[in-house]
Structure 1
Amino acid sequence: MSTPTRMDPTFYRSAAEAIAAPSERLAYVVAFDRAGSRPDALTVVDTDAGSPSYGQIVGWAELPTVGDELHHFGWNACSSALLHEGHDMGHDGLQRRYLLLPGLRSSNVHVYDTHPDPRAPRLHKTIGAEELAEKAGYSRPHTLHCGPDGVFLTCLGSADGDDGPGGIALLDHSTFDVLRAWETDRGPQYLAYDAWWHLNQNTLVSSEWGTPSMVEDGLVPELLLDNRYGHRLHFWDLAEGRHLQEVDLGPEHQMVLELRPSHDPDATWGFVGVVVSTADLSASVWRWHRDGDEWKAEKVITIPAEPADPDDLPPALKPFSAVPPLVTDIDLSVDDRMLYVSCWGTGELKQYDVSDPAHPREVGSVRLGGVVRKTPHPAAPGEPLAGGPQMVEVSRDGRRIYVTNSLYGAWDDQFFPDGTGSWMAKIDTDPGTGGLGLDDRFFPHGEDWRGLRPHQVRLQGGDASSDSYCYR
């Protein structure tokens, strides 16, 4: 009889266990070549404040291909695996070990092994675009989450790689084989972006951006002003892959992106960010929640555009004499106490106390970059920064926030036509009272990234946007 394998110690039964676990010592960051002529890379950054290489890139794994444009990525398995019968005894040896790196332009998915040396990830497998198209009917993979019965990979496009419907491909989280399309009945859903869930409610939530042809060459003004980008949430039966309900936020609320459900497994609410309103260029955050047998959503945060001199604006914004906040990412701390909102256009990270999720209260803010302000980092006070806080990741204990500055190559070029540069920053906070302070010891930037642009961050052992927890 085989000996049971020890359970992965980074599979936490509850949010409280995750918060109490040891702090991350490494961050994994994907970085891409805008020109598509050099390989993108999976990089490793030292986050151990006591290390002599703190804040430096200490690992670099180049992809075997070019033109992938790495975007969102994630683990093969996480705490949600504990919902599997037998996994909490560790019988099958499932581990948080592999990082799956989707190429948003190539439709390839590269799988990297972080063992035995977490500073030197090694290529384990490549899932080709052809396999994704043939077995699931999708292309342009965007976001993935490790679920209880596999890896859920959201995709913007159908098999032809240009139009929709987009949706979710299900992958085996041990072999990484593409199993099938997850949906069995998609109902009215056509546009895709993110997907996450309330495990104990048997509910998956999905959001909308646009098809590949709507996004890959930049924001299309005609589509935006005609309210053609996504503006809906979709609610599904998680076990059956069956569409249950659509909630329309209103056509002016364009690009409904990052989903952050509550980490409390018994709660039935979460937040989603909306990039821009065509009514007034504001951005917003909405709360969804269950109300009896229905799901509802209401706007709980509005962030107005900032007036600006047209001479300081890129061509796309000159007619408006204002900078929209452009909320491109949000993140919810593991204790469900603090919500972080990236305002990429104005160059600001906002912090809200959401102890009462229906009434968020702003408790912190920090400025970096921005279309007009170009606020420098304290580690390099004489260097105006382009880009702005874009992807945001929060440590499990809620004390450290990591941000990177690139959105998507073509969109970077529209809003920052002189270049975004390349940078990553760390922000410290008190998870109980809030308040944000930049760490002037942590600022990998410029040539540290060898000409690549950093995008999403994953923290060793998990982070606020990696795991769903099965128990209180």
Structure 2
Amino acid sequence: MLFAMALSFTAKADETCMSPYIAKILGQEDYVYVWTLGVDGIGDEQDKLVTIDTNPSSESYGKVVNSLSVGGRNEAHHSGLSDDRRYLWAGGLDTNKIFVFDIHSDPREPRMHKIITDFTEASGGLVGPHTFYAFPGRMMITALSNNADGGGRTGMAEYNNEGEYITTHWIPTDSDLRGATKTGNLADGYGYDVRVKADQNIMLTSSFTGWSNYMMDFGQMVGSPDAMQRFGNTMVVWDMHARKPLKVLDVPGAPLEIRCAWGEGNNYCFTSTALTSQIWLIYPDDNGEWQAKAVSDIGVPADIPLPVDISITADNQGLWVDTFLEGKTRYFDISDPHAPKQVYEKVIGSQINMVSQSWDGKRVYFSSSLLGNWDKTGDADEQYVKLYHWNGESLEHKWTVDFYEQGLGRAHQMRFGSYAMYGKQRPSDANLLASASHTVN
């Protein structure tokens, strides 16, 4: 009953970048799960799933209550929930391992359910599992690279919820369009993110760069003309049900996260371009043909602020945009999606990457790490999760968890957890605190 109730409210998202097929937390989230990079010399040096208590009525509010290490460093990056929200899938961009965590048996203490070690072999050569996007009974996993040359040519691997490989969907290239129409100059075959407009039977993918770049030192990469040419400049429109590419769109400058408007009739999505610092709108024209156009600059593009994560509000009125090098978040009014306007900005830290919102838009979480070799160094290498309250006009800071101070590593992606999703009552603080001594690694 709880799952059915949650699914009936798909226009009201919790983390509003989630798949519309995922059961939603409509009230207060109990926990945020943080997929975290291990760092040499910090704590146990391993990647880990860190649990922070986010319930303001709890005695441990804003504190780390559990940490589950995975036995090594994998370039921990993105994660995604299964459609029933019982499992959290998380990937390593370097080792290609996929970790499936059970978050429903005890939301406070996730446990390891399964580790998939043959992603590259099973998928026919995909490298760098990135986005984990739920379909009914399935998990679509985008990749960033391949095992032939470490470049950006890649695809998506489809798995069932049991963690069994089904098939690979390669992204169109100039030499193999796979039935798609190339509408611009390029079909580079690069991949990054995936999202759907299910009511339109449309799936979208974006593009980034391959293993040879994302595992390179940031300064070395920026100083290499060859490396800077190895970034994606396209998005692909797919037939969602058939998993067939329809159109390749030119979107120059490495289009990263895709965020689609909620609710039927809101037929558009946004992306931001890392290298050219623009917001792009992906939308159907008057003839129903999907197009892409730049609709707003992000800061001063010439300064290369490096846009990273973006998050659309559940009411389709606002868009958060984080810029890594500035450590800043910006809020855009997108009431007219063809003309977004920045109305607010705030420096969150020396660097910033991910942003996640509660379904009502009142709580906004930020985390810090981009990539192991791309994060800032020295005093500028801040690693945190921060919670702010948004009143519609400004952000009010509530708490910060310093991941270095607590020996945890580098905080990357965040997902929410809740007892109510599984028909469970949250245990009393006394019971939770009694078990805390043996749950934190």
Same fold (TM over 0.5): yes
Distance 2:284 2:62 in 1: 42
Deviations, residues 415-439 of structure 1 (Å, cap 9, x unaligned): x455513111112113xxx222232
Q: Which residue of the other structure, out of 408, 430, 440, is the alignment partner of 2:371? A: 408
Tell me whether 1:454 sits opposite 2:411 in the alignment. Answer: yes
Per the alignment, residue 267 of structure 2 pairs with 268
CA offset at residue 231 of structure 1?
1.6
Please tell me whether the aligned partners of residues 24 and 48 of structure 1 are also in contact (alpha carbons under 8 angstroms): yes
Mapping of residues 292-441 of structure 1, within 5 Å: 292-305=287-300, 323-369=303-349, 386-387=350-351, 389-413=352-376, 416=377, 418=379, 420-430=381-391, 434-439=392-397, 441=398
The amino acid that maps onto 2:142 is T
Q: How many residue pairs were aligned?
A: 392
CA offset at residue 199 of structure 1?
0.7
Q: Which residue of the other structure, out of 133, 142, 146, is the alignment partner of 1:145? A: 133
Unpaired segments ≥5 residues, structure 1: 78-94, 278-282, 307-321, 370-385, 463-472
Q: Which residue of the other structure, out of 27, 34, 50, is the alignment partner of 1:29? A: 34
Please tell me whether the aligned partners of residues 405 and 454 of structure 1 are also in contact (alpha carbons under 8 angstroms): yes
SS of match in other structure, 1:426? strand
Per the alignment, residue 97 of structure 1 pairs with 86
Q: Assess, with a 3 A threshold, how the Cα gap between structure 1 residues 242 and 189 changes in structure 2: closer, same or farther.
A: farther
Deviations, residues 301-356 of structure 1 (Å, cap 9, x unaligned): 212449xxxxxxxxxxxxxxx85311011110122111000011112111112111
Deviations, residues 274-317 of structure 1 (Å, cap 9, x unaligned): 1122xxxxx111111111242112212212449xxxxxxxxxxx
Please tell me whether the aligned partners of residues 140 and 161 of structure 1 are also in contact (alpha carbons under 8 angstroms): no
Please tell me whether the aligned partners of residues 184 and 241 of structure 1 are also in contact (alpha carbons under 8 angstroms): no
Q: Assess, with a 3 A threshold, how the Cα gap between structure 1 residues 349 and 123 changes in structure 2: closer, same or farther.
A: same
Per the alignment, residue 112 of structure 1 pairs with 101
Per the alignment, residue 68 of structure 2 pairs with 61
TM-score by length of 1: 0.77
SS of match in other structure, 2:34? strand
Could you list the runs of 4 or more consecutive aligned residues of structure 1 that deviate by over 6 angstroms after TM superposition?
17-20
The amino acid that maps onto 2:280 is W
SS of match in other structure, 2:93? coil
SS of match in other structure, 2:401? coil
Per the alignment, residue 49 of structure 1 pairs with 56
Please tell me whether the aligned partners of residues 13 and 314 of structure 2 are also in contact (alpha carbons under 8 angstroms): no
Distance 1:226 1:399 in 2: 38
Distance 1:125 1:403 in 2: 28
Mapping of residues 155-194 of structure 1, within 5 Å: 155-160=143-148, 162-173=150-161, 175-183=162-170, 187=177, 188-194=187-193
Q: Which residue of the other structure, out of 14, 23, 35, is the alignment partner of 2:10? A: 14
The amino acid that maps onto 1:57 is V
Distance 1:35 1:297 in 2: 42
SS of match in other structure, 1:443? strand
Distance 1:75 1:45 in 2: 17
Deviations, residues 60-104 of structure 1 (Å, cap 9, x unaligned): 1111x3121211101111xxxxxxxxxxxxxxxxx3110001111
Per the alignment, residue 231 of structure 1 pairs with 233
CA offset at residue 115 of structure 1?
2.5
SS of match in other structure, 1:200? helix
Distance 1:224 1:304 in 2: 26
Identity of matched residues, %: 26
Distance 1:160 1:230 in 2: 18
CA offset at residue 116 of structure 1?
2.0
Please tell me whether the aligned partners of residues 136 and 178 of structure 1 are also in contact (alpha carbons under 8 angstroms): no
SS of match in other structure, 1:410? coil
The amino acid that maps onto 1:75 is L
Q: Assess, with a 3 A threshold, how the Cα gap between structure 1 residues 44 and 267 changes in structure 2: closer, same or farther.
A: same
CA offset at residue 158 of structure 1?
2.2
Please tell me whether the aligned partners of residues 133 and 140 of structure 2 are also in contact (alpha carbons under 8 angstroms): yes
Distance 2:13 2:38 in 1: 38
Per the alignment, residue 469 of structure 1 pairs with none
Distance 2:272 2:123 in 1: 31
Unpaired segments ≥5 residues, structure 2: 15-23, 178-186, 420-441
Distance 1:211 1:69 in 2: 14
Distance 1:114 1:299 in 2: 39
Deviations, residues 3-61 of structure 1 (Å, cap 9, x unaligned): xx874654344314868921212111111113398321101111112222111111111
The amino acid that maps onto 2:369 is S
The amino acid that maps onto 1:234 is V
Please tell me whether the aligned partners of residues 79 and 413 of structure 2 are also in contact (alpha carbons under 8 angstroms): yes
Please tell me whether the aligned partners of residues 427 and 436 of structure 1 are also in contact (alpha carbons under 8 angstroms): no
TM-score by length of 2: 0.82
The amino acid that maps onto 2:163 is F
CA offset at residue 451 of structure 1?
4.3
Tell me whether 1:248 sits opposite 2:250 in the alignment. Answer: yes
Q: Assess, with a 3 A threshold, how the Cα gap between structure 1 residues 211 and 20 changes in structure 2: closer, same or farther.
A: closer
Distance 1:142 1:333 in 2: 23
Please tell me whether the aligned partners of residues 10 and 461 of structure 1 are also in contact (alpha carbons under 8 angstroms): no
Distance 1:217 1:196 in 2: 28
Distance 1:417 1:136 in 2: 40
Please tell me whether the aligned partners of residues 23 and 397 of structure 1 are also in contact (alpha carbons under 8 angstroms): no
Please tell me whether the aligned partners of residues 152 and 230 of structure 2 are also in contact (alpha carbons under 8 angstroms): no
Bigger relative CO (Cα 8 Å, ≥ 6 apart): 2
